[in-house]
Amino acid sequence: MANIKEMAAHSQIDPRFGSGHSLCRGCGIPSIVRTVLSSIPGPVAVINATSCLEVATTRYPFTAWKIPWMHVAFENSAAVASGVEAAYHALKARGELSEPMTLVVFAGDGGTYDIGLQALSGALERGHRFIYVCYDNEAYMNTGIQRSSATPFGASTTTSPAGRAAMGKPEPRKNIVEIVAAHRIPYVAQAAMSHWQDLSNKVQRAYHAEGPAFLNVLSACPPGWGHEPRDAVRVVRLAVDSGYWPLVEVIEGHWRLSYRPSERVPVMQWLTLQGRFRHLFQPDQEEALEKIQTIIDDEWERMTQRDAQSASWFASEQARRWEVLPTLPDSWEPRLGEPMWEHFRKTPNPA
Amino acid sequence: MTPRLPFHTPGVDLHHLRVITGAQGVAHAMRQIDPDVFPVYPITPQTPIIQTLSQFVADGLCHTHVLDVESEHSAMSAAVGAALAGARTMTATASQGLALMVEVIYLAASLRAPVVIAVGNRALSGPINIHGDHSDAMLARDSGAIQIFAETAEEAYDFTIIGTKLAEHKRILLPVMVGLDGFTITHSAEPVALLPDSAVKDFVGPYAYPSPLLGNQAGTYGPFSMPDSYFDLKYQEIEAVEAALEVFELVAEEFFRLSGRRYQAVEAYRLEDAEAALVMMGSHSGTAKEVVDKMRDQGTRVGLVEIRLYRPFPRHAIEQALAQVPRVAVLDKASSPGTLPPLFLDVAASVANTSKLVSVIYGLGGRDVPMAGLQDILEGVLADRFPPREPGYLFGNKVWHKEGKSWPI
Residue A19: count other Cβ atoms within 10 Å of its Cβ.
Answer: 7
Q: B107 vs A73: CB contact, 8 Å cut-off?
A: yes
Tell me if A249 sits within 8 A of A258, measured CB to CB: yes
**Predicted confidence band at B7 (pLDDT cuts at 50, 70, 90)?**
very low
How many Å apart are CA B84 and CA B209, to the nearest integer?
7
Kindly write down the DSSP assignment for every residue of A256-298, as one continuous string. EES---SSPPPHHHHHHT-GGGGGGGSTT-HHHHHHHHHHHHH
How many residues are given for chain B?
409
Residue of A nearest to B103 (CA): A73
- Looking at the complex, report in whole angstroms how far the Cα of residue B223 sits from the nearest Cα belonging to chain A: 5
CATH topology of domain A4-158+167-346: Rossmann fold (3.40.50)
Whether B91 and B193 map to the same domain: the answer is: yes
Q: What is the mean pLDDT of residues B347-354?
A: 97
CATH of the domain at B245: 3.40.50.970
pLDDT at A227: 98
The CA dihedral of A192, A195, A199, A201, to the nearest 10 degrees, is -150
- Nearest CB to A86 within list B65, B70, B226: B65
Last residue of a domain, one of B259, B275, B294: B259
Whether B109 and B232 map to the same domain: the answer is: yes
Mean pLDDT check: name the lowest of A194-208, B7-21, B258-272, B288-302: B7-21
Q: B327-344: per-residue pLDDT in tens?
A: 999 999 999 999 999 999
**Predicted confidence band at B11 (pLDDT cuts at 50, 70, 90)?**
low
pLDDT at A7: 77
By the CB < 8 Å criterion, does B214 face chain A?
yes
Q: A71 vs B219: CB contact, 8 Å cut-off?
A: no
B5 located within any domain: no
Whether B214 and B283 map to the same domain: the answer is: no
By the CB < 8 Å criterion, does B232 face chain A?
no
B2 located within any domain: no
Whether B218 and B255 map to the same domain: the answer is: yes
B251 located within any domain: yes
Q: Is the pLDDT of residue B316 over 60?
A: yes
Of A321, A195, A316, A208, the C-alpha closest to A257 is: A195
Q: B214 vs A71: CB contact, 8 Å cut-off?
A: no
Whether B223 and B281 map to the same domain: the answer is: no
Of A26, A31, A34, A76, the C-alpha closest to A51 is: A76
pLDDT at A4: 74
B144 located within any domain: yes
pLDDT at A338: 55
Tell me if A213 sits within 8 A of A120, measured CB to CB: no
Q: What is the mean pLDDT of residues B44-51?
A: 98
Residue of A nearest to B233 (CA): A60
Whether B326 and B242 map to the same domain: the answer is: no
Whether B175 and B270 map to the same domain: the answer is: no
State the alpha helices, DSSP H only, in A94-195: 109, 117-126, 176-181
Mean of the per-residue pLDDT values of chain B:
95
Whether B252 and B376 map to the same domain: the answer is: no
Question: In this predicted complex, what is the ipTM?
Answer: 0.94
Q: A82 vs B81: CB contact, 8 Å cut-off?
A: yes
State the alpha helices, DSSP H only, in B169-205: 197-204
Whether B283 and B226 map to the same domain: the answer is: no
Domain count across chain B: 2
B181 located within any domain: yes
Q: A119 vs B215: CB contact, 8 Å cut-off?
A: no
- Nearest CB to B37 within list A75, A86, A123: A86
Residue of B nearest to A14 (CA): B217
pLDDT at B15: 57
Residue of A nearest to B77 (CA): A80
Q: B383-400: per-residue pLDDT in tens?
A: 999 998 999 999 999 999
How many Å apart are CA B132 and CA B146, to the nearest integer?
20
> Which residues does chain B have within 8 Å of residue A47's beta carbon, measured at their own beta carbons?
81
**Predicted confidence band at B115 (pLDDT cuts at 50, 70, 90)?**
very high
> Which residues does chain B have within 8 Å of residue A125's beta carbon, measured at their own beta carbons?
70
B247 located within any domain: yes
Range of the domain at B356: 266-400
Residue of A nearest to B86 (CA): A87
For chains A and B, CB pairs below 8 A equal 159
pLDDT at B16: 75
Q: A68 vs B226: CB contact, 8 Å cut-off?
A: no
Whether B238 and B298 map to the same domain: the answer is: no
- Nearest CB to A63 within list B75, B220, B233: B220
Last residue of a domain, one of B259, B274, B297: B259
- Mean pLDDT, consecutive 10-residue stretches, chain A (351 aa), reads 72 84 97 93 94 97 96 98 97 88 97 98 98 98 98 97 95 97 98 95 92 98 98 98 97 96 96 97 91 96 96 92 62 55 48 40
- Looking at the complex, report in whole angstroms how far the Cα of residue B110 sits from the nearest Cα belonging to chain A: 10
pLDDT at B216: 72
CATH of the domain at B372: 3.40.50.920
- Nearest CB to A88 within list B67, B68, B85: B85
Residue of A nearest to B207 (CA): A91
Q: State the DSSP H helix or E strand holding residue B20, giving kind and residue range, or none if neither.
A: strand B17-21
Q: Is the pLDDT of residue B1 over 50?
A: no
A219: left (phi over 0), alpha (psi -120 to 50) or beta: beta
By the CB < 8 Å criterion, does B80 face chain A?
yes
DSSP tag of B350:
T
Residue of A nearest to B89 (CA): A87
Q: B36 vs A87: CB contact, 8 Å cut-off?
A: yes
B82 located within any domain: yes
> Which residues does chain A have within 8 Å of residue B90's beta carbon, measured at their own beta carbons?
none
Q: Where are the domains of chain A?
A: 4-158+167-346
Q: B87 vs A90: CB contact, 8 Å cut-off?
A: yes
Residue of B nearest to A99 (CA): B215
Whether B272 and B254 map to the same domain: the answer is: no
Q: B49-107: per-residue pLDDT in tens?
A: 999 999 999 999 999 999 999 999 999 999 999 999 999 999 999 999 999 999 999 99
Last residue of a domain, one of B194, B229, B259: B259
Cα dihedral sign, B310-B311-B315-B317 = negative
Q: A96 vs B107: CB contact, 8 Å cut-off?
A: no
pLDDT at B83: 98
Q: A60 vs B221: CB contact, 8 Å cut-off?
A: no
By the CB < 8 Å criterion, does B246 face chain A?
no
Whether B252 and B279 map to the same domain: the answer is: no
B388 located within any domain: yes
Q: B70 vs A71: CB contact, 8 Å cut-off?
A: no
